[in-house]
Amino acid sequence: MRCSSTLSFFINLTLVCSQSGPPSNGSSEWQPGKFKTLVTFGDSYTDENRLGFFASHNGTAPPPGWDGGVNYGASTGGRIWARYASIYSSLTLYNYAVSGAVCSNEITPRTFASINAPFPDIQGYELPAYLADSTYQNPNGTAFFTGVPSSTVYAIWIGTNDIGNDAFLTDSQVRGKTLKDYTDCVYQTVASLYESGARYFVLMNLAPLQLAPQYAVPENGGLNHTEFYPNKGDNITQISYRMWESVATLNEVYAYRTPYETLIAKSYPEASIANFDVNSLMTDIWTNPENYLNGTKAPNVTGTVKNCVGSGANQTCVRDDSPDSFMWFDALHPSEQVDRVIAKEFDQVLAGESKFAKYWG
């Protein structure tokens, strides 16, 4: 009987997933111009200035109502995807991402040396910071957060650090924690935001980290060590394939868990979730760079814009004079041009027109 019920569950889930595709362009839930406010959570792939505040204030968090503004020298070497998305889609951006963050420090804490404490995470810092801001009144009595549920979308892009070195990749997670705890944390974040009134979500899956120079195989530009992974060891091929396995497994979880939570468990009544397959988009950039990279040099998907030699006070870095020719800014982070591509596709996701998204709820 147990086997029969389990088989029935997977058959039903498969039918739901196969029969419920993206809506038409005329969908009332996802259409051009619907959204006015964007709230983002994540790590250095999304952060603008929050980690810098922690570093310059002895680990103290920004106060409620803090606006870090635009960062023209973020992890991309320029502006970040979320800032570009706010420009392309005319959105007011509230960005709570913190470089180095994981979903939960109760699963994969990583130490930020500058403050001798774990990097602020989504569950312990970013989510509470948003909730505090959502009710904060400016000194003049006006509301700091101006979004309303019907036109505010919440984007979560987290996982690069959770499954990387000093976390799951190097078996450094909290004892007893598994990759399932990471995905549970993401959907717990959705649930908490839903309880606060959020109704529209974009979940961005894991980037193809096995293609980044930090984790790639040698023939794809993999490096023996990087500034973010100095003690990498010799078997970089094994590291790359383990990373690839984790990315592929977890992205399959995203693909099936969202329709399960929305359509079968009905965890978020009246909410809508778009699964943005940013992995496939970035993989397509890597495979067909001439369609996306537009610098003055030939497209380069294995090298980096920023290259450094030495370490510490003796380190010197130079940047290529054609940054838009590269997929990667440094060993781990996408280039600004790739972030522009992601932002343009994010605009299509919000419009209900992206071939890289599926919509549920």
Q: Which string of b and e fits 112-137 if b means at least 16 CB within 10 Å?
A: beebeebbbbbbbbbbebbbebbeee
Question: What percentage of the chain has pLDDT greater than the value 70?
Answer: 92
Q: Please provide the average confidence, as pLDDT, over all residues in the chain.
A: 93
For residues 245 and 252, what is the distance between their CA atoms, to the nearest angstrom? 11
Query: What pLDDT was estimated at residue 310?
Result: 75
Q: How confident is the model over 204-235, as pLDDT tens digits?
A: 999 999 999 999 999 999 999 999 999 998 89
- Which residue matches tokens 């590291």? 239
pLDDT of amino acid 361: 86
Output the pLDDT for position 1.
Answer: 41
Strands (E), 140-291: 152-157, 200-204, 272-276
Strand partners, 358: 275
Cβ distance 144 to 62 under 8 Å?
A: no
Q: Do 108 and 170 form a contact (C-beta atoms < 8 A)? A: no
Mean pLDDT of 173-189: 98
Query: How many other CB atoms are found less than 10 A from the CB of residue 29?
Result: 14
- Note whether 206 and 159 are within 8 A (CB): yes
- Cα–Cα distance, 226 to 262 (Å, whole number): 40
Confidence of residue 318 (pLDDT cuts 50, 70, 90): very high
Query: CA-to-CA distance for 156 and 346, rounded, in angstroms?
Result: 12
Question: Cα separation of 151 and 33, whole Å?
Answer: 9
Q: Walk me through the domains of the chain, giving residue ranges and CATH numbers.
A: 27-208+231-289+336-360 (3.40.50.1110)
Q: pTM, whole model, 2 decimals?
A: 0.93
Task: Give residue 185's pLDDT.
Answer: 98
Q: In the structure, what pLDDT confidence band is assigned to residue 12 with cuts at 50, 70 and 90?
A: low
Length of the chain: 361
Q: Which helix (H) or strand (E) holds 95?
A: strand 92-95
CA 3, CA 121: separation in Å to the nearest integer? 39
Mean pLDDT of 188-195: 98
| Residue 278 scores a pLDDT above 90 | yes
**In whole angstroms, what is the distance from residue 312 CA to residue 227 CA?**
10
Place of tokens 């602020």: 120
**Would you say the C-alpha torsion 244, 297, 284, 353 has a positive or negative sign?**
positive
Terminal Cα-to-Cα distance of the chain (whole angstroms): 30
Q: What is the mean pLDDT of residues 163-182?
A: 98
Tell me how far the alpha carbon of residue 89 is from its chain's centroid: 18
**Whole-number pLDDT of residue 13:** 53
Tell me, what's the pLDDT at 309? Answer: 82
**Which pLDDT band, with edges at 50, 70 and 90, does 289 fall under?**
very high
Q: Could you tell me the pLDDT band of residue 359, with boundaries at 50, 70 and 90?
A: very high
Nearest to 37 by CA among 126, 133, 101: 133
Helix or strand holding residue 117 (H, E) = strand 117-118
Q: Is the pLDDT of residue 58 over 50?
A: yes
**Res 26 pLDDT > 90:** no
* Cβ-contact 39, 147 below 8 angstroms: yes
Distances (CA, A) of 132 to 41, 120, 126, 143, 226: 15, 16, 10, 12, 37
Type and span of the H or E element at 317: strand 316-319
* Residue 192 pLDDT grade (very low, low, confident, very high; cuts 50, 70, 90): very high
Query: What are 245's two structure tokens?
Result: 């396995």
Distance between CA atoms of residues 196 and 198, nearest Å? 6
Minimum mean pLDDT among 100-114, 254-268, 299-313: which range? 299-313
